Amino acid sequence: MLCLFNKAYVQIFYNLEIFMNVLVTGSNGFVGSALIEHVAGIRKYQVIAAYRSLSMGSTGNAATLAIGDLGSLADITTSLRAVDVVVHTAGLAHVFNTSRNFLDELHNINVNGTVNLARQAAVAGVRRFIFISSVKVNGNETQPGRPYSELSPIAPVDPYGRSKFEAEEKLRQLADETGMEIVIIRPPLVYGLGVKGNFRRLLHLVDLGIPLPLGGVRNQRSLIALDNLVDFIITCISHPAAANQTFLVSDGEDLSTPELLQCLGKAMNKPVRLISLPVNVIEFSALLVRRKKEVKMLCGNLQVNIARAREMLGWTPPVTIAEGLRRTVA
Active site residues: 160
Query: How far is residue 93's CA from residue 84's CA, in Å, rounded to a whole number?
Result: 26
- Using the 8-state DSSP alphabet, how is residue 8 labeled? H
Query: How far is residue 12's CA from residue 149's CA, in Å, rounded to a whole number?
Result: 28
- Phi, psi (rounded to 5 degrees) for 153: -60, 150
DSSP string for 30-81: HHHHHHHHHHTT-TTEEEEEEESSGGG---SSSEEEE---GGG----HHHHT
Are residues 226 and 33 in contact, defined by beta-carbon separation less than 8 angstroms? no
Query: How far is residue 211's CA from residue 233's CA, in Å, rounded to a whole number?
Result: 38
Alpha-carbon radius of gyration of the chain: 20
DSSP string for 301-316: -B-B--HHHHHHH---
DSSP string for 227-254: HHHHHHHHHHHH-GGGTTEEEE---S-E
Which of 135, 115, 112, 131 has the alpha carbon at shortest distance from 123?
A: 115
Query: How far is residue 112's CA from residue 140's CA, in Å, rounded to a whole number?
Result: 24
First to last CA, the chain: 48
